Amino acid sequence: MAEITFGKPYTDEGEIRTFDISREDAEYVWHKDPEDRECEIIEGDGWQFQYDGALPWALTPGMIFEILGKDHYHRLIKGKNNLKIRIKKHG
């Protein structure tokens, strides 16, 4: 799995991360994070999350889930409008 590290397809404001659907340069690539994270979906329609080797699953407002960062490739699949997530990093 190739990891691309240039250009971030999101903006951060404290714990809130927003993925802007209008950014044409946005790349939602396979990547690993340096730490585990707890994510709460605040808003966004049609977005999906996928771990390498697994089927993608829908992200819905109110959902809380863990991202296993270190040694686990994952990606977002773009939805219909902006995605807003509250992220709490562990480690």
Rounded Cα–Cα distance for residues 78 and 21 (Å): 7
Q: Between 91 and 44, whose confidence is greater?
A: 44
Q: Closest Cα partner for 35 from 80, 10, 71?
A: 71
Confidence of residue 40 (pLDDT cuts 50, 70, 90): very high
* pLDDT for 91: 65
Rounded Cα–Cα distance for residues 14 and 11 (Å): 10
SS3 (DSSP) at 63: coil
| 28-48 burial code (b ≥16 CB/10 A, e <16) | bbebebeeebebbbeebeebe
* pLDDT for 20: 87
Q: Between 67 and 85, whose confidence is greater?
A: 85
Q: Is the dihedral of CA 2, 55, 27, 16 positive or negative?
A: negative
- Ranges of each domain in the chain: 11-90
Query: Domain 11-90: which CATH class?
Result: mainly beta
Q: Between 91 and 90, whose confidence is greater?
A: 90
Q: How many CB atoms lie within 10 A of CB 83?
A: 25
* pLDDT for 88: 93
* pLDDT for 4: 40
pLDDT for 86 beyond 90: yes
